Structure 1
Amino acid sequence: MTGASLWLCPPAGSPIEAALQTLITKTIPLHFGDEKVPAFRPHMTITSDIPESVDPEEVLRKISLRGLLEVNFKELVIGQTYYTRGTLHLERTPAIIDLARQCRELFANGGAEVEIVDKWEKEVFTPHVSLVYSAMDPVPDNIREAIGQDLKEANIGVLHWNGPKGEMRGWKGGRIALVSTHKPIEEWETIAERTL
């Protein structure tokens, strides 16, 4: 990835954070055989391409929220790229879109014009929570089914599953983190963080 990234993370110590972290670090990697899939913090990427030269605290101060952010899982998707190989796509709520557009306009590549942000939002931005980064391509159907079963066993639901009552279908609020994604994955670290 180029530049740093802004992530929306689940609330600290929440059941959804714990469930996603276990899936990402322990459960789902078992399906990928000898491939050493990396561990990472549960998150939705708000935007990337943020120059390393930014003042991290200023970035977090400039973000303006218009109400409570709510992350709602929509569906499990096996994507076409390393970073989207296994994801939970999210509902494109006005609050999520507004946050992503605002951050892209203010910080990506040192700031972006509205027309560029419009195009990015329509053609590139797909709100999701990654479950695995993998070079496996294609991902066999049995692995997709196994990941779906892992989600159900972790009590994580999406819109099209009628799972048990009380399943976790996302989170409210959380934390915004500026992360050093311009480095190799094993060196990613949180540069600054703000609780919502």
Structure 2
Amino acid sequence: MTTHLSLWLVPDEKSPFTKTAQELISDTVPRNFVSSDEINHFPPHVTVTGELDADKAFGGKSAQEWLDSIDFSAYKAGQKEVVLELDTVEAEDPFFRKMNIALKENDDVRQVSAVSRRAAGLDEAWSKTEYRPHLSLFYGDVPTQQVKAKVPLIEMKIGFSLGDLFACCGGTLCMGGYIVVVDTRKPIKEWHDAIVAKRETPWAMWRATRNLI
């Protein structure tokens, strides 16, 4: 479990994409690997950065004051948007990335991470060298090879789940959403109710590439 808070980008909770992504996370994907009582339910999100120490990162501000103070003025809906483009299904060793959808490379996503880390007094270089933006589908202690073997099946199920959304909107899955501070020190099952600060992101566009659908 993490020992810090995290900063996430999340799609609008009213979006059909959010409902579909939640179904993938809470049902469609994990049922291929674990029993119902072992499923880790967590909200659809792309992590911007972890490592937020509640006592140090916010500089004496509340989490909400800190989040509101970050300068995202470079981005505007309809003019300069941050495109979160879901690209390929990946199986990896880390528990929190056991199965995920990697985002297509995008400098703006990395810049949002770097700006946020700067505001928290963290190393910005991480956003360019180590950051791997993704949307997790499954957390678990399952052998990675076992998960890799199911990637083609999961790709097919994602195609069924997101195909209509992709077709109707030219690849756009959701416009807008939020950037949120989440107390990820809590158990995973409590993360849905662990948001401690929230800010709208009308400049965030959630898309999928043809690799995914």
Q: Decide: shared fold, TM above 0.5.
A: yes
3-state SS of 1:117 partner:
coil
Q: Could you tell me which amino acid in structure 2 is paired with residue 91 of structure 1?
A: K
Match of 1:160 in 2: none
1:144-159 equivalence runs, <5 A: 144-155=151-162
The structural deviation recorded for 1:164 is 6.9
Q: What's the counterpart of residue 18 of structure 2?
A: 17
Q: Call closer, same or farther: CA 1:164–1:40 in 2, change over 3 Å.
A: closer
Q: What TM-score does the superposition give when structure 1 sets the normalisation length?
A: 0.84
SS class of match (1:60): helix
User: Where does residue 60 of structure 1 map in the other structure?
Assistant: 67
Tell me by how many angstroms 1:26 deviates.
1.5
Normalised TM-score (structure 2): 0.78
Q: Specify the SS of the correspondent of 2:167.
A: coil
- Identify if the C-alpha distance between structure 1 residues 155 and 60 changes in structure 2 by more than 3 Å, giving closer, same or farther: same
Matching residue of 2:196:
191
Map 1:40-189 onto structure 2 (within 5 A): 40-53=42-55, 54=58, 55-65=62-72, 66-67=74-75, 68-107=81-120, 111-112=121-122, 116-118=123-125, 120-140=126-146, 141-155=148-162, 165-166=167-168, 168=171, 170-188=173-191, 189=194
* 1:78–1:85 CA contact under 8 A, matched in 2: yes
Structure-1 separation of matches of 2:166 and 2:12: 22
Q: Give CA deviations for 1:11-54 in whole Å, capped at 9, x if unaligned.
A: 22111111101111111121013371300000000001111234
Unaligned runs of 5+ in 2: 76-80, 202-213
C-alpha RMSD of matched pairs (Å): 2.2
Aligned to 2:8: 7
Matched residue type, 1:186: K
Q: Percent identity?
A: 24
CA distance in 1, matches of 2:179, 2:166: 30
Q: In 2, Cα distance between the equivalents of 1:9 and 1:124?
A: 21
- CA 1:137 to 1:169, structure 2 compared with 1: closer, same or farther past 3 Å? farther
Counterpart Cα distance in 2 of 1:180 and 1:72: 26
Pair 1:37-2:44 in alignment? no
Q: What amino acid maps onto 2:64 in structure 1?
A: E
Deviations 1:32-85 (A, max 9, x none): 133713000000000011112341111221222221322111211111110001
Q: Is the 8 A contact 2:98 2:138 kept in 1?
A: yes
Deviation at 1:184, TM superposition (A): 2.2
